[in-house]
Amino acid sequence: MSTGAEPYEKITVKAKGGSQRKTCYSELKKVKVEIKEIDKLVRELSVEVPADTVTTKLEAKFRDVQRSVTLKGFRKGKAPMDVIKRMYDNEVRGDVAEELIKSTYPDIVKEHTLRVASYPTVKTLDFTDDGGFNYTATVEIFPEIEKINFDGMVLETREIKVTDEEVDDIVELLRKKHSDVREVQREARDGDVIVVDIEKVYDPENVLAQDKFENSEVDLGSKLTVKEFKEQLAGMKVGEEKEIEVKYEEDYPDTQFAGAHLKYKAKVKAVKERILPEINDGFAKMTGEAETALELRMKIRDQLKHRKTDELNRAHRNQVIAQLSEKNNIPIPKAMVEEYLQSVIEDFKKQYQDVNEEEIRKNYEQVGVNTLRWNLLLHQTAKQENIEVLPADTENLIKKFADNYKITPEQAKENLQKSGNIADLRESILEDKVIEFLVSKATMKTATN
């Protein structure tokens, strides 16, 4: 597409230092522009600036140079123009070329409503024989999203239940936290804490780099303790040794041990008995969480329900993002992905000395694409459905922030403004509102297990 050699477009601007107005003229209407689609998100701009515009800028730049330089044999500002042009021709043309690109490119983008997603890459530039100036540049643009499709989304959900057993487990954790531990001279029993020296005796895959672990504490009452240690250390006394063989499950939570086969030699050095407090009102007060045992259990139940609700909401959020991205699989500008990856690399460099940039790019490229795609879909959905962040939304979140940190809302607002986090706060609110809207449009399917 191209604009011809139409007359200048008149623009009225306010003059500096007073109320008078002066008239200047935009040269964009005299500039010829052709825009080609090179790729789905790449446009090539071919720009021709007319000779009279170029000549005016060249002459002005040469006069600036003439006024500012001092040449041997001439007073400052008095060197002949032909000498100035001969000595500074390349430098001046370089400056003018840069000025012409900077002055025309933004107007071209605005005139042709290009939603650019990257800085332009200038491929060619030259001053023509007839005195004009031409350049070509490529630029990436944002994808056009006509309408967000969120029909047919199905979210897996479940009923929020808190069992008595789950409450009991938390109560037991609190009892252990507030228990006394004393050393006893008897065999180890379930619930005891055993101090052992552990030596690795069989590790064909070298899962453990260390061979010995002295004075290790093993809690026989913890669900996290490997069952072979719980079963085989029980009944042992101080001074006794035993070889313990462990075949870790393939889905063992600590992936370092998943599927591994190890043997250890364990020598008991001490047996410690836990003295657990009774579950009564005194215990409830000891925890600092409640005044009575009943109130403590009710509070624990509410906390577990809240935690499970948060987990379900996060699951719905992840499902919504995944399904919306799948239904609206828009392409993402490479420049945006590169900027994202560069920021990830910089974050790694702040934390670690040796950083493998190639590996980071490989591991985080798809993460970047997914993140950027969701960001575009998020804002387009908000625009399409007229979802906005209202002043009351921001104030409510600031109040919550203030309550969490035991400060006034005014102090919270000031802290957020100083740290530059107000914009992030508004973005977070917008995302929550869009997610809430999308979840309301989805069909809920109850999980079978």
Per-residue model confidence as pLDDT tens digits over 116-155: 999 999 999 999 999 999 999 999 999 999 899 999 999 9
- The verdict on residue 159 lying in a domain is no
Helix H or strand E encompassing 348: helix 334-351
Strands (E), 78-129: 121-127
What would the pLDDT profile of 270-326 be if each residue is shown by its tens digit? 999 999 999 999 999 999 999 999 999 999 999 999 999 999 999 999 999 999 999
Q: Amino acid identity of 79?
A: A
Residue 4: which pLDDT band, with cuts at 50, 70 and 90?
Answer: very low
* Same domain? 255 vs 351: no
Residue where the block lists tokens 């950027």: 372
- The verdict on residue 166 lying in a domain is no
Which tokens hold the place of 136? 């070509």
Q: What is the pLDDT of residue 174?
A: 95
Residue 1 and residue 223: Cα distance in Å, rounded?
Answer: 71
- The verdict on residue 438 lying in a domain is yes
Residues in a beta bridge with 261:
247
- The verdict on residue 374 lying in a domain is yes
* Same domain? 325 vs 440: yes
Cβ contacts of 82 within 8 Å, gap of 6 or more: none
- The verdict on residue 171 lying in a domain is no
Look up the CATH number of the domain holding residue 343: 1.10.3120.10
* Same domain? 417 vs 336: yes
What backbone phi and psi angles, to 5 degrees, belong to 346? Answer: -65, -40
CB 239 within 8 A of CB 268: yes
Q: Concatenated DSSP letters for 407-434?
A: --HHHHHHHHHHHT-HHHHHHHHHHHHH
Question: What proportions of the chain, in percent to the nearest 5, are helix, strand and coil?
Answer: 45, 20, 30
* Same domain? 65 vs 122: yes
**Which is nearest to 101 in space by CA: 58, 63, 133, 60?**
133
Q: What is the pLDDT of residue 13?
A: 26
Residue 18 and residue 276: Cα distance in Å, rounded?
Answer: 83
What would the pLDDT profile of 147-169 be if each residue is shown by its tens digit? 999 999 999 999 999 999 999 99
Mean pLDDT of 237-254: 93
CB 369 within 8 A of CB 334: no
* Structural domains counted in the chain: 3
* Same domain? 422 vs 326: yes
What would the pLDDT profile of 325-378 be if each residue is shown by its tens digit? 999 999 999 999 999 999 999 999 999 888 899 999 999 999 999 999 999 999
For residues 295 and 3, which has the higher predicted lDDT (pLDDT)?
A: 295
What backbone phi and psi angles, to 5 degrees, belong to 84? Answer: -60, -45
**Which is nearest to 360 in space by CA: 344, 347, 376, 349?**
344
User: In the listed set 84, 110, 140, which residue is the last one of a domain according to the structure?
Assistant: 140
* Same domain? 257 vs 386: no
Range of the domain at 75: 9-140
Q: What is the pLDDT of residue 180?
A: 93
Top-confidence range, 15-19, 86-90, 153-157: 153-157
* Same domain? 368 vs 422: yes
Cβ contacts of 331 within 8 Å, gap of 6 or more: 40, 41, 143
CB 218 within 8 A of CB 226: no
Taking the CB of residue 30, how many other CB atoms lie within 10 A of it? 19
Q: What is the pLDDT of residue 342?
A: 95
* Same domain? 309 vs 263: no
- The verdict on residue 76 lying in a domain is yes
Mean pLDDT of 236-244: 96
C-alpha angle 122-123-126 in degrees, rounded to nearest 5: 90
* Same domain? 440 vs 372: yes
Residue where the block lists tokens 């420049």: 335
Residue 27 and residue 30: Cα distance in Å, rounded?
Answer: 6
Residue 29: which pLDDT band, with cuts at 50, 70 and 90?
Answer: low
Residue 131 and residue 246: Cα distance in Å, rounded?
Answer: 84
Q: What is the pLDDT of residue 91?
A: 93
Residue 13 and residue 20: Cα distance in Å, rounded?
Answer: 9
User: In the listed set 110, 140, 170, which residue is the last one of a domain according to the structure?
Assistant: 140
pTM of the model: 0.73
The counts of H helices and E strands in the chain are 11, 13
* Same domain? 135 vs 18: yes
* Same domain? 210 vs 330: no
* Same domain? 113 vs 245: no
Q: What is the pLDDT of residue 344?
A: 95
- The verdict on residue 178 lying in a domain is no
Cβ contacts of 318 within 8 Å, gap of 6 or more: none
User: In the listed set 255, 275, 295, which residue is the last one of a domain according to the structure?
Assistant: 275
- The verdict on residue 177 lying in a domain is no
